[in-house]
Every structure is written in C-alpha cells, then in structure tokens.
Structure 1
Amino acid sequence: MLSAAAKPSFNSDLATTDRLSNGIDVKLVLPEHSAIAASLSEEALKWLQNDPTVLSVEIDTHRHFMSLYNDDVGDPTVIQITPYSIYQSQANLLTLQPGMKVCVVDSGIAGSTGETGGINNDFDWSNITGSNDSGTGNWFTDGGPHGTHVAGTVAAADNGFGVIGMAPGVSLHIVKVFNAAGWGYSSDLAKAATECTNAGADIITMSLGGGAANSTEENAFIKFTDNGGLVLAAAGNSGNNTRSYPAGYKSVMMIGGNDADNNKYTASQYPSCTNGDTNDGYCVEVSAGAVSVFSTYPSGGATVAGLTVDSVGYGASGMENSGSVSGATYHMGTAVTTDPNANGKICIIDRGNASFHDKVNNCENSGGIGAVIVNNVAGLLSGTLGTTNVTSIPAVGAAFEDRTNLVGSSSALINIGPGDYGYMSGTSMATPGVAGVAALVWSNHQACTGTQIRNALKASAEDAGTAGKDVDFGYGIVKAKDASDYITANGCDGSGGGGNNPPTASFIQNCTDLTCTFNASASSDPDGSIISYSWNFGDGNSDFGVALSYTFTSGGTYSVILTVTDNDGATGTTSETVTVSDGGIATWSSD
C-alpha cells in the first residue's frame, strides 16, 4: 500500500472520488494531512506520480509490536550490549554490592587458549578463581563455549564494551566438571559442592542435569543450603514433564525459561510439584530469559554478524559463511527459485517454503552477493545452512519486526566473522540469569540466608502464563528490583519487619616512606549506624578504629582490608593496595 501527499489546494472528498474513478483503491483519507492511503496497480501508480496536484508518493510501511524486551543494538567490540534478559529481570535497576561469590559448575571458562578459542577479556579476572575435577583439565581452559557463556550471563563486566552480566563483576569460582566428551557423574557434582563451599561461595549455579536422583549428590546440596547457601539448576530442555536432577531436589531451586515477550521457552521442562509429597522444590520455581541469550564466548569461538541497512544497524544472527559484502538490496520473496534480478545484489528473503540453504543457494546462483533471511514469526531468526552447505556468500537471519524496513530498503552491509560473543538458548541460560539476580539482590541484603533470598525471588516474581503459580513459570519471571524492595518492606523472613541493608566500607590513604594514614569516615550505612571498623594491613597485623596511622616494618606492596559492621550485625568490606618504601619499625596508633 502507498500513501500520497497533496498540495495545499487538495480537496479530500473530490480527490477521493477522482482517484476511485481512475481505478485507485483508496483505503484511508487524511484531510488534516492532505493525504490518502491507497492500494494501486503499476499503471495507477504512474498516473498518480504524474498528477500535478500530488506532491509525493511513498510506501505506507507496516508497523508491528516490538518484543517486550530487546537487546541493545550495536557492535560489541565498540559498545557494551545489554541483553534483553537484563531489562526483563530488572538487573539494570539494582547495583551490586561487594561480598558475594557465585560458583559456576560447568565446562570451565575461557581464561586461556582452549578447545573453542582464547581468553575472553570481558571478565574481571582478579575476582575469578577455580578448580577442576579429575580428568577435566584446567578450569581456565574452556571445554567448549557453554561454561564461558554461562559465566558471562552471571558476571560479565560493566566495562563499556562487550556484554554485561546480571551481576557485573561479581566474584566467581569456576568448577570444571565436564570431561572431553561433555559429561560427568553425579559424584562429580557432590565434590563440586564441597569445592564451592571451600571457595567461600554463596550461590551455586548448574546449567546441567540428568534423569535420575542420587542420594550422595542430594546430600551435598542439602548441606550447602543448610549452611546458608543457595543452589540453582536448570529444569532441562526436553519440552516434557520429566524431572531432571539436580534441579529436582528440594534443596535446589529449579529454573525454567521464557522468551523476550514473557512467553514460555517451548523446550523448557515442566515437572509436577508432587513427588510423593508436594513441594516447590520438585518443580519450576521461577523463570528467566532462555531464548537467544547474548553472552560471552571463548575469543574467536563465536560467529558474530553485523547488518546495516540504509545506514541503520539491525539485529542479525550469522550463518556459516564468513565475509563482508555491501551493495544494493533486492527483495527475492521466499527465494524458492533463482531470479536474475538478484544479480550483484544482497537478497532480502522471507522465511518459508524452502530450506535456509536452498534460499541462499538460489540467491547465489542468481548472482547475489549476500543474503538476509527474515523470520516469519516474532523474534530474530537464528539458523544454519545445514551439514551439506555448498554456498559461499555471507548470509544472516533477521527479525520479523524489521521486515518492512528490510524489504523496502535500497542498500545493505553484511559482515560475518569470528568474535567473542554469541547467542545460546535453553534453561542453561535462564539458570545463570537467576543466579546473577540472586547475587544482586543478596548483595544488598546480606543479613538474609540463601533460603530467604530464594523465597523473596518467588514472592516478587512477575506472574506469567496461566494465572497464579503454574508448572511452566513457577511463581513467574524473576525481578531483581522487586525482590530487593520486597525484602526491604518485609524483612528477610517475609514477616513484615523490614530488612537490614548492609553498610558500605570506604577509606582513603596517604603514605610517606613506611608510614600510612587511613581514614574510613566515608563509610556509610543506609538504614542504621556503623559500630565497628576493623583493619587488616596485609602483613599479619590488624587494628580497630575509624582513623589511624600504621608503619610497616619493610618496604613492599600490601593489600589493606577494611571491614565495617553495622548495629544489626551486617558487614561491608573493601580493600586497597598500598606500596611503601623500605625501613622503619612497625608501630600504629588509633584516633
């Protein structure tokens, strides 16, 4: 359909009658804008374009609902991308406080050259430790991209490039449990729980599972939660009501998945809440983003696609063929056959009627230099060209929401190459998302236990799917800010007594030779008062006081740690490195 704008002398009633008499199907008259909208043939279009009373004729473009939540658009090597799941779970509305550690039990992390790539620099590596089970190799050498993607969903740094995690920069402990074949035993997970405990982790996240319960494994997670921790695991991706483990244990919070429009991830498993007795722990408790989640990959291990159309960037998912092309665009329909009009152009192709491979192949055999396949349902198209790909031109998938602009475009640029970021789908992506939200909320309410954080996440989740609690979403989609507000209003135990926010530790230093002065008066408590200031000077000595002077016995670099405690027993910690020159005797005094 086209819209036409007329000169000021335009009379809408007369013009409409005139257009109809000339075979133009007028759909809408806009007298206040001196315009009409109409459907017309090529002959009628030429007639209208030659009408001296008509100023312009243009496409009356389609408008669609956007997804409720969307990834930022841009190149992650240049700007920082916030995934839709961050916005959906309100992680952008809450600030992480120090003191939390998440244990990621998976396939390792890309801290060096590994199976699928090199180090990913979108982490705060000073906050990451790890361990490996026997036969899995070094925890900092990835065993495939899965573990790195999971870790990034939790903790990718807020550093101006790449992607940001739910709890950016939170301390991680990585336990590598998958062997080269991509599996491990339940006993490996029991051992991992102990390693997470020894590392001081508050939260365990596991994007893995299997079909049978194991008492040793279950007891390990019961012990972790009894000691105040929180354990989360993925519901699974079989799309049925099978209960997977460890997610199916009462002590473990089972996480389901949803898409950017608050719909259920179709493959998310949905076991009942009854297993002899009825308990939330047997079924999905909350859900988070699980469809096309953007996160970190081992360096060079992902295929990154860029799509610019008429100088505007659009979301794109790369297929197998790498390369960069630019040129005029041509709408090739569903590309079920070759078309000589595509010669030398980038083909804009609608999904349907033929395989992705055949569409791209027909474009290439028509002389096309690149292909953009547009989804026919809401969301970004993520696909492959199959195992027998014979094409060579760059091809990307695009979102249905962008179809009108892509089909009506005049030029495009496609760029596909190796990168450090990519998409994955599954409850494996939702689980670290909830783990990051839990860390974010807990860091602001450190007097709570893991079980109390678990309950707050459920109490504050946004209902989705069938009204009320259901087997697909549990209590709903997790919301960080709402959970924090719930604890503030109702207390850690939900009794309505309000919650205690922890104090924030802060200090300044000034050193001359071996002597340094420290002042912690900038420390603060949002809902109470600080009653204790504890110092650790990093050389085996410690002291108490708001402000003090300390002389080191020898030159060197020391990590000075300040811990403050408020009137409700909550603590806050910070540290700074000091370097002093050689000489002197250790003395200190408190003010």
Structure 2
Amino acid sequence: MKSVLKIAFATSLVTFPLAASAETFVVLGTPGANLDAAVTAAGGRIKKRLASIDVVVAEGGSGFRAAVGGKAGVAAVAADRKIKWIPKGERAVFRDADVVNPPNNPAGIDPRFNLQWGHTAIKAVDAWKMGYEGHGARVAVLDGGFQLNHPDIAGRYDPSCTADMTGEGIAYGPNSDDDTGIFAHGMHTAGTIGAARNGVGTIGVAPKATLCLVKVLFNSGSGSFEDVAAGIIYAADRSVDVISMSLGGSLQKSEEGASTLRQLIDRAVSYAYKKGALVIVSAGNDGQSADSPKTTGTPANLIHLPSDSPQAISISATAPHGWGKNQNVFLDNPASYTNYGRSVINLAGPGGDYTPSVTGDCTVAGVTRPCYIFDFVFSTGAANSYYWSIGTSMATPHVSGVAALIVSKYGKMHPAKLRAYLNAGADDLGVSAHDPYYGNGRVNAARSLSK
C-alpha cells in the first residue's frame, strides 16, 4: 500500500517554514488580489497559500494586522486561533475487543452488526438488499487522527487522498484526554461511514465506499481554522462526493476576528460545493435552540462552524431509550444534548444518548453491558478496538453514509441534487415539513434509493 501523505501539497496549498516567534494570521483577499505582495509590504511572511479561495496564512508581528489590512486587495484579516472542535461530551465508554468470535449472527454479517441500531433506524440493510453498498462513492472524513491498519479501515481508504494537515502525523495516539490512545474520534466516525464487510467487528453504512482520511485536528480535538479550511480544500480537490465533518467550533459574534474566521470557513465550504462535494457537518452538543435560546444571549450571539455555513448540511442527533432491553423501542427520540432549531437543522441521524432511567445490565448479541450503553453508537476505535459513543458527531457519519449509498446508485452528481435525494427520502418526523429537531427528517437510505 502506498504511504500516506504526512502534509498535503496541492497547487492551491503551499506551505513555507514558520518563524519561531510570530503570530499567525489569515488574510482574505478579493478575487485576483496579489496577497503575497500585500503581506510582504506589511512586513509579514507567507506561511501557507489557499489560492483556491483567495486566502493566505501569514506570520507577522504586533503591527502586521493593521498594516496588511490597509493594503489593496485585502478584504479582511484576523489572527488565526486554535479552539476545541470536538463537541463536548463525546468520549468513549467500554472498549469492546471481542469482535471476531461473536454469537450467532446472520451469514455475511459482521460480528458486531447486531449492536448497530443506527443502521436499523436508517434502513441501511434494505439499501444493501437493493444492491447498493457505496461502491463508486468517495467520502472524505475530516477529523482527528486515524489508525490506518485497523482491520475495518485498512482496505477502505485511498492513500492518495489521505493526509495530515496538523503536522502531528496522521496516526491517533495518546493525549491528555485519552492517555490510552484507544478512543479515536476520527476512527469512530470513519467506521460508521465505511467499515468493511469483512467478518470482523462492525459494518459501515456504506461498506464499499472509498474513504479519504484527512486529519485537521490534533489528537486532543483542538485545531486551527487554517487547518480546517485547508482540509476542506484538500478533500474538494480530490473529487470526493461527500465531506463528512463531525466537528464544530463556536465563536462569539462580538469577538475580534470572528467574522473573518467565519468568512474563511464559508469560502472553503463554498469551494467544496462548487467542486462537487456535499459538506455534511454536526450541529453541536449544547442542547441549545437557535430559535429560542435557553440562556440569554446564547446561542443568538454565537457563530457555530462549519454548521452555520450556508452550503453545509447541519445534522442533529436521535436515539432510542432502552434499546438494550427491547429492540423494538422507538429509535428516533431527539437526543438530550443535540442543538436544534428550524433555522439551523437540516437533517437528523442516529447519534445515541445517555438515559439515566435505563438501569441494570442487558445482553445483546452475546454482549453484556449496563443497559444504557446500548443506546450509544457502536463503531471503530484505535488499537484495533471498538467503542460506544454519543453525539451529533455520531449522527453526521450516518447521514454521510446514506449520501454515499445514493451516489452508488445514481453516480456522481451536483451537491444540490444529492441533498435533494437525502431530503426526499428522509422520514418526516415531528412537526410536518421542517421540524426544529429533525429538520427535513431523519435520513432513510432505502427511501432515498427509491426516489
């Protein structure tokens, strides 16, 4: 197998050595502007070019921002920043290493498929029976680190479109939040989309889709705006059909530079859209309504990115209550933590939830755990392991997987058309037409493939 790029270099993405002591800025230009000249004249130095969206990342001293802001062709400038992009609360519980020798499962189904209630909710099996498993679809997963030799991932990703934007290295490893180095947020989301049907572990929603694994966040879940934007552009330049982003960062609208950083992400998402990629992102885990905030001024004064980008699809989370005790329970309760609001939610997907009232131990498919755990989403982790987790981050890859199934049937299409298939096939739950929790509905693979 080819080695994976450690740093991405494309015609639109060029990097330069970083000085030891200088602040980093994103400089947004007008179309055709000579940003190199503007940066040099302001006493700065180019660190990275994102020419596709008329942006450069530059380093400069204390007077650089004011100096470059007055140059011809410069539309906006702001200090780049590193923030936490992995929504709060998304930690794994209960490693499950026993994934190879399960109790009785149907022939051709991987050992732990029967723990994946989300596939039932979105009618993934019905889509497979129709003959569509994601073949021909390319899905970029932008996240933290990945274990490339994981048995459920190794045969599913394309090394030519897999890269690290952070400089930390593509692999997931121990960090302050996970000193075991086992729970990898990126692995969990990638496995939900495309874990192989191979007699091991779990199965992705689109097990024959090709994954492009792009590390834009450090293993801790933090990352810079420049790396996230660069990752979107990198993926868009590699003919992907879907860009799946189980991440989100919030800024106060009043913060200095917030508007510029939003423009940076908006430009990157718009570029991906124009290149033919549908960007699917998590709505966030704050349990907040964008229509009637629970806390005065919040989130009315917040920018949540990338989900606030006009051409991104924002995903809320659903979950069962007590599925470990009764597999016939309703699977589509709005998750307690999910952000919601008619103005922000486009579609819903299985994200799991924690329900304290679900007590005792349960056994499902030969696995015995506290009953509440089975309401979580089960997927791949690092160190050849599998984990349960909850969050809008877990809902997003379910939707991305359904999008891949649609592409496997109808072929490559404009993102607007792919979005229309998702909307048309979604189950209209809650308030008719557009619900604050479900948006246009919880995705349904079989219905989308029947349109």
TM-score (normalizing by structure 2)? 0.59
Q: Indicate the residue corresponding to 1:123 in structure 2.
A: 153
- Structure 1 SS opposite 2:273: helix
The offset of 1:191, in angstroms, is: 0.4
Q: Percent identity?
A: 28
One-letter code aligned to 1:264: P
Q: Indicate the residue corresponding to 1:87 in structure 2.
A: 120
The offset of 1:226, in angstroms, is: 1.6
User: Is 2:184 the partner of 1:145?
Assistant: yes
The offset of 1:167, in angstroms, is: 0.4
Which piece of structure 1 moves more, 120-129 or 442-451? Answer: 120-129
User: Is 2:420 the partner of 1:455?
Assistant: yes
The offset of 1:186, in angstroms, is: 1.9
User: Is 2:214 the partner of 1:175?
Assistant: yes
User: Is 2:147 the partner of 1:110?
Assistant: yes
One-letter code aligned to 1:90: K
The 1:139–1:450 alpha-carbon spacing in structure 2 relative to 1, beyond 3 Å, is farther
The 1:316–1:483 alpha-carbon spacing in structure 2 relative to 1, beyond 3 Å, is same
Q: Indicate the residue corresponding to 1:269 in structure 2.
A: 339
The 1:216–1:434 alpha-carbon spacing in structure 2 relative to 1, beyond 3 Å, is same
1:131-280 map, 5 Å: 131-139=163-171, 144-212=183-251, 214-241=262-289, 242=299, 244-260=304-320, 261-273=331-343
The 1:221–1:315 alpha-carbon spacing in structure 2 relative to 1, beyond 3 Å, is same
One-letter code aligned to 2:311: S
The offset of 1:107, in angstroms, is: 0.7
- Native 8 Å contact 1:136 1:178 kept in 2: no
The offset of 1:187, in angstroms, is: 1.7
User: Is 2:381 the partner of 1:429?
Assistant: no
- Structure 2 SS opposite 1:422: strand
The structure, 1 or 2, with the larger RCO (C-alpha pairs under 8 Å, 6+ apart) is 2
- Structure 2 SS opposite 1:195: helix
One-letter code aligned to 1:270: Y
The offset of 1:96, in angstroms, is: 2.3
1:6-405 map, 5 Å: 76-79=99-102, 80=110, 81-82=112-113, 83-94=116-127, 95-111=132-148, 119-125=149-155, 127-129=157-159, 130-139=162-171, 144-212=183-251, 214-241=262-289, 242=299, 244-260=304-320, 261-273=331-343, 283-291=344-352, 315-317=367-369, 380=374
Take 1:139 and 1:230, find their aligned partners in 2: how far apart are those partners? 26
TM-score (normalizing by structure 1)? 0.46
1:543-576, Cα deviation, whole Å (9 max, x unpaired): xxxxxxxxxxxxxxxxxxxxxxxxxxxxxxxxxx
- Structure 2 SS opposite 1:217: helix
The 1:381–1:100 alpha-carbon spacing in structure 2 relative to 1, beyond 3 Å, is closer
Gaps of 5+ in 1: 1-72, 112-118, 274-282, 294-305, 318-372, 383-417, 487-591
- Structure 2 SS opposite 1:457: helix
The 1:126–1:456 alpha-carbon spacing in structure 2 relative to 1, beyond 3 Å, is closer
- Structure 2 SS opposite 1:284: coil
Take 1:425 and 1:154, find their aligned partners in 2: how far apart are those partners? 15
Which piece of structure 1 moves more, 441-450 or 142-151? Answer: 142-151
The 1:430–1:381 alpha-carbon spacing in structure 2 relative to 1, beyond 3 Å, is closer
Take 1:200 and 1:183, find their aligned partners in 2: how far apart are those partners? 27
Structure with more strand by fraction? 1
The offset of 1:227, in angstroms, is: 2.1
Q: Indicate the residue corresponding to 1:526 in structure 2.
A: none
Higher CA-based Rg: 1
The offset of 1:419, in angstroms, is: 6.8
Q: Indicate the residue corresponding to 1:389 in structure 2.
A: none
The 1:468–1:314 alpha-carbon spacing in structure 2 relative to 1, beyond 3 Å, is farther
- Native 8 Å contact 2:136 2:407 kept in 1: no
- Structure 2 SS opposite 1:159: coil
Q: CA RMSD in A?
A: 2.8
- Structure 2 SS opposite 1:191: helix
- Native 8 Å contact 1:255 1:284 kept in 2: yes
